[in-house]
Amino acid sequence: LAGIAVGTTAVATGFTTLVSASIKARGEMEQLEGGVNKIFGESAQKVMENASKAYKTAGISASQYMEQVTSFSARLIQATGGDTAKATEIANQAIIDMADNVNTYGSSMESVQNAYQGFAKANYTMLDNLKLGYGGTRSEMQRLLKDAQKLSGVKYDINHLDDIYQAIHVIQEDLKITGTTAKEAEQTLTGSIASLKASWSNFLSGTGDLSQVVESARNCRKKYLENHKRGYARNRKTN
């Protein structure tokens, strides 16, 4: 009876903690959704759809995705002439590019985010944070745009934020950086753990369901077992 009482108390405590975390996460999400609705208008639903998939595409939760989007969206929409649909597409690409850059070079997400937010303010001093071979100056950003133009055949204007983000995408694509986050989520233990954490956050906030968590957990377990087998085989060969 004592054991049952302890177990029941533990379950009750865990459930209370879960509910409390869920209420907090949902409250934060409602605030973020309000901001996205106000900024993106008719395109807000698409932004939220992209956010719900970010646990796979960018290794971040929906709330982290929306926080990043709203940090530079006003300038981006202005650069696209008020075309919120186009801004939504470019913003999604930019966030995935950030994650790919971090996963490729091992940089901190904060440093890369700061660089992108700086570009929205015509501040290029943190361009070297991206480790793409360009220094942190306006002239170096112009050099990046010219290099991207040579690759894509498209002329990019430093005064247009959408052009800057798209040019960076072209350079990263040329360097084979694009898509690394999605691949890591599927193929590596570290990436699958990040995806699992993000899907759990989505579940708590109500932007994702339990099936996403289960899917991520299965993939995480699969990668763990694969790593364990490789380690066992390696040790056995060494011994």
pLDDT per 10-residue tile (average), the chain, 239 residues = 52 54 61 83 92 86 88 91 95 94 89 94 96 97 98 97 97 93 65 67 65 70 66 54
Considering Cα of 94, then 96, then 102, then 105, what sign does the dihedral take? negative
Find, among 55, 62, 188, 169, the residue nearest to 119 by Cα: 169
pLDDT at 9: 52
pLDDT at 15: 47
pLDDT at 32: 73
pLDDT at 113: 92
pLDDT at 1: 44
d(CA 84, CA 62): 19
Helix and strand counts by DSSP (H, E) for the chain: 10, 0
Phi-psi region of 179 (alpha: psi -120 to 50; beta: other; left: phi over 0): left
Report field, pTM of the whole predicted structure over 0.75? no
Scanning 41-130, the segments in alpha helix (DSSP H) are 44-57, 62-79, 84-105, 109-119
Per-residue pLDDT tens over the stretch 202-214: 676 666 666 767 7
